[in-house]
Chains A and B, each alone.
Chain A
Amino acid sequence: DIQMTQSPSSVSASVGDRVTITCRASQHVSAWLAWYQQKPGKAPNLLIYAASSLHTGVPSRFSGSGSGTEFTLTIDSLQPEDFATYYCQQANSFPFSFGPGTKVDIK
């Protein structure tokens, strides 16, 4: 099975900051990686699929990159509504798996 790790586990940032989250897979997953945002008490929301494709309706300040085993999610100019937990998920092979999450909170 493919194990996913994320770093950092948490980050404190200010509105307007650029935030970068890294996700690593224990095996090659090609570009089959998705990113989700989850706010407390809510279901996750898809942000990025296939490593770098922005899901419909997601603001352009979110971007994804990477392939193989290392991926990044970047949030340019952090907005108040972006304070949340972010998860990566590999979709290369069953069983799919999520990373442990990165919490972005207010500095």
Chain B
Amino acid sequence: EVLLEQSGGEVKKPGESLRISCKGSGFIFSNYWIAWVRQMPGKGLEWMGIMFPGDSETTYSPSFQGQVTMSADKSISTAYLQWSSLQASDTAIYYCARHRGTAATPRWGFDTWGQGTLLTVSS
């Protein structure tokens, strides 16, 4: 079974750093694009960026460029999303999602999603 398992919810203070994880199983992790998506409370989906663990190619949405860092350790089939200094506005659910196929360009949608990591940033 193809799965993405995300790390648990976090409660942090403004200015703190954080790294959340997304572990894949049931597929060859390095062959699939992995995207990160934000959903703020009661709001819609926002595409944050995407990376290809095989060669670490990464593209960020301009809205998130410089605000977060995406990385992956393909040896343990895990992708990461990292903040160096959290803000209250980072409070949201963060999803990782796997591209539907192994194409060089991820045009076919995202067919496997993690369960989401709820991040709460509050003083």
Contacts and interface: CB of A to CB of B under 8 A. Distances in A.
B119 interface: no
B45 A50 contact: no
Contacts of B46: 98
Given A46-B109, A46-B111, A87 B45 contact: yes
B108 A49 contact: yes
Contacts, number: 75
A87 B37 CA distance: 13
Interface string A68-107: 0000000000000000010101011011111111000000
Contacts of B12: none
A98 B100 CA distance: 17
B110 A34 contact: yes
A50 B99 CA distance: 13
B44 A55 contact: no
A95 B49 contact: yes
A37 to B, nearest CB: 12
Given A43-B116, A44-B95, A95-B61, A101 B108 contact: no
Contacts of B61: 1, 95-97
Q: Which of B47, B106, B115 has the most CB of A within 10 A?
A: B47
30 contacts: A1-B61, A36-B109, A43-B97, A43-B114, A44-B37, A44-B95, A44-B110, A45-B113, A46-B109, A49-B108, A50-B107, A50-B109, A55-B109, A87-B45, A89-B47, A91-B106, A91-B108, A92-B107, A94-B50, A95-B47, A95-B49, A95-B59, A95-B63, A96-B50, A96-B61, A96-B106, A97-B61, A98-B46, A98-B47, A101-B44
Interface of A: 1, 32, 34, 36, 38, 43-46, 48-50, 55-56, 85, 87, 89, 91-92, 94-101
Given A36-B45, A43-B114, 5 more contacts: A43-B115, A85-B44, A89-B110, A91-B109, A94-B50
